[in-house]
Structure 1
Amino acid sequence: MGSVAARVAELTGREVSAVASLGASHEWRLYRAELADGTPLFVKALPEEARGMDGLFRAEALGLDWLGRSFGSPVPEVAGWDDRTLALTWVEERPPGPEAAERFGHQLAAMHLAGADAFGASWDGYIGPLPLDNTPRSAWPEFYAEQRILPYLRRAADRGALTPADVRLVEKVVDALDHLAGDPEPPARIHGDLWSGNVMWQDDGATVVDPAAHGGHREADLAMLALFGLPYLDRVRDAYNDTAPLGAGWRARVPLHQLHPLLVHVCLFGAAYRTMVLETARAALRV
């Protein structure tokens, strides 16, 4: 704890009075730090034995700063970071409610509408502990195929979680992307890993955490919210549509956008998610 307190003090330039462990997530450890004036911070720290993720907190800090530059952006502020530590403003979560859900829908739409220069980002990304290729591209189907589907499809196959027949099915989706993608959309400023666990409800909306932020397709964030269920999701989507109407056929494209996070889950957690990947690929091809 002492080393965490010292690092937070150095990063923030402020005295730390207490640090409490909150457990772990993937390879990093989580803490609640309290500054001398009583201000709480949320801290992530990589232990010394963790290797190969030196860009992890850089990607999150840059992504949060970028998302935070959109109007009304629902993200925590970065209090300080280095390669081994990330300190954020503490977010006190509230119970979800319909009014907060509607406000969140408007917030999410405003964040997306802030836009991006290209599909991708100027920094190397991460999704959880896995590297995320953010090399900018001008066309979404090419970006989604080469940097979101195929790298994780290969990784999942290499670890034996998907069979050659499984791989061929997903490759059919890749081959049909120009047809499946719908009308072209400009790059949106997206969270990139927006499952329900990364939505922290507030009285007046929500704060979103743990981003894999990049310029992407805005339907990806909404599809991710639906993947594992979000309270009042219909209210969120209706409010989103009021601010930034979704393109024709968006409902049919939900499985297409869910394929990437499901492949990431296979890479992280194994064949337990194989059936979901296959069902989602088949659903994507039925457009």
Structure 2
Amino acid sequence: MDDGRRVFVKRGADFTAEAAGLRWLAEPEAVAVPEVVEADRDTLVLEWIDTAQATAEAAERFGRELAALHAAGAEAFGAPWPGSIAELPMDNGPASDWPSFYTSQRVLPFVRQARDAGRLSAADVDLVEEACDRVTEVSGPAEPPARIHGDLWNGNLLWSAPPDTDGAGPGRVALVDPAAHGGHRETDLAMLALFGAPHLAVILGAYREAAPPADGWRERVPLHQLHPLAVHVCLYGDAYRGSLLTAASEVLAM
């Protein structure tokens, strides 16, 4: 930039939801999020983040910060802007309870989109719909809307360098590419587990110390993975079909 700053520029898509999500995640000052320098429908300019090796110290800090982000909360399940994940639109209309929001606005639209594209059979859809019918029963104690990233896989964690030029002090995790909304905090934890992350046990341990999830949260991981797996079937096809059906079967067995 003219003022000497380095920035990261994305072009070629509608970045409205991403920019809104980044700003919303930054509001509580709980986690590191790159500053949105400029945004319009087809360009997004972000603060540059110098990346570094993942460390246990940064992972522990991130676990505590993620708990603080979730605790910042949201006005409702959903968000006041049109949602998207990858290039797929999502319905962010506000809902009063999480089970209905999750099934009708996160899981079933993508399952039916995958069916219409020939990537899931009618029997596949029936299985996931049957699992969705059980969400209220198996989702654990009701919780208020958490402020979640919504697509928290390892590729959206930027492990940043320590702030001091001599390398002193712990690094930090910065969050990018969100599908941010008011949701269930276990959704972010389940997404971290789906593809793994460096020092995941440390992240989860620090999170649990700061804000213990309700009992049985580990058994509910497949429930919260239905959405990202359905999205992946839409995007990548048969490679994720088996994982989606396995998660649905595990929900039915809960």
Whole-Å Cα distance in 2 between the matches of residues 72 and 278 of structure 1? 35
Q: 2:137 aligns with which of 179, 183, 190?
A: 179
The aligned runs of 1:1-287 (5 Å cut-off) are 35-46=1-12, 56-202=14-160, 203=162, 204-287=171-254
Taking every aligned residue pair, what percent have the same amino acid on both sides?
A: 55
Whole-Å Cα distance in 1 between the matches of residues 96 and 144 of structure 2? 9
Q: Which residue of 2 is the match for residue 27 of structure 1? A: none
Please state whether the residue corresponding to 1:251 is helix, strand or coil: coil
Whole-Å Cα distance in 2 between the matches of residues 165 and 93 of structure 1? 45
Whole-Å Cα distance in 2 between the matches of residues 284 and 77 of structure 1? 38
Whole-Å Cα distance in 1 between the matches of residues 23 and 203 of structure 2? 24
Amino acid at match of 1:248: D
Point out the structure with max Rg over C-alpha: 1
TM superposition score normalised by structure 1: 0.84
RMSD value over aligned CA atoms? 1.0
Whole-Å Cα distance in 1 between the matches of residues 119 and 107 of structure 2? 15
The CA deviation string for residues 108-149 of structure 1, in whole angstroms up to 9 with x for no partner, is: 111110000000001001101000100000100000010001
Please state whether the residue corresponding to 1:119 is helix, strand or coil: coil
Please state whether the residue corresponding to 1:270 is helix, strand or coil: helix
On the 8 A contact 2:22/2:178 being kept in 1, the answer is yes
Mean CA deviation greater in 198-207 or 85-94: 198-207
On the 8 A contact 2:31/2:62 being kept in 1, the answer is no
Please state whether the residue corresponding to 1:131 is helix, strand or coil: strand
Amino acid at match of 1:262: L
Whole-Å Cα distance in 2 between the matches of residues 58 and 164 of structure 1? 34
Amino acid at match of 2:144: P
Question: How many positions carry a matched residue from both structures?
Answer: 245
Please state whether the residue corresponding to 2:7 is helix, strand or coil: strand
On the 8 A contact 1:191/1:212 being kept in 2, the answer is yes
Whole-Å Cα distance in 1 between the matches of residues 50 and 252 of structure 2? 41
User: How far has the Cα of 1:72 moved from its partner?
Assistant: 2.5
On the 8 A contact 1:180/1:285 being kept in 2, the answer is no
Task: Answer 1 or 2: which has greater strand percent.
Answer: 1
Amino acid at match of 1:190: I
User: How far has the Cα of 1:285 moved from its partner?
Assistant: 2.0
Higher relative contact order (CA 8 A, sep 6+): 2
Whole-Å Cα distance in 2 between the matches of residues 127 and 199 of structure 1? 16
On the 8 A contact 1:102/1:205 being kept in 2, the answer is no
On the 8 A contact 1:64/1:78 being kept in 2, the answer is yes
On the 8 A contact 1:106/1:243 being kept in 2, the answer is yes
Q: Which residue of 2 is the match for residue 16 of structure 1? A: none
Please state whether the residue corresponding to 1:252 is helix, strand or coil: coil
Amino acid at match of 1:121: A
TM superposition score normalised by structure 2: 0.94
Whole-Å Cα distance in 2 between the matches of residues 178 and 84 of structure 1? 39
Whole-Å Cα distance in 1 between the matches of residues 208 and 138 of structure 2? 21
User: How far has the Cα of 1:220 moved from its partner?
Assistant: 0.4
Gaps of 5+ in 2: 163-170
Whole-Å Cα distance in 2 between the matches of residues 284 and 76 of structure 1? 36
Please state whether the residue corresponding to 1:200 is helix, strand or coil: strand
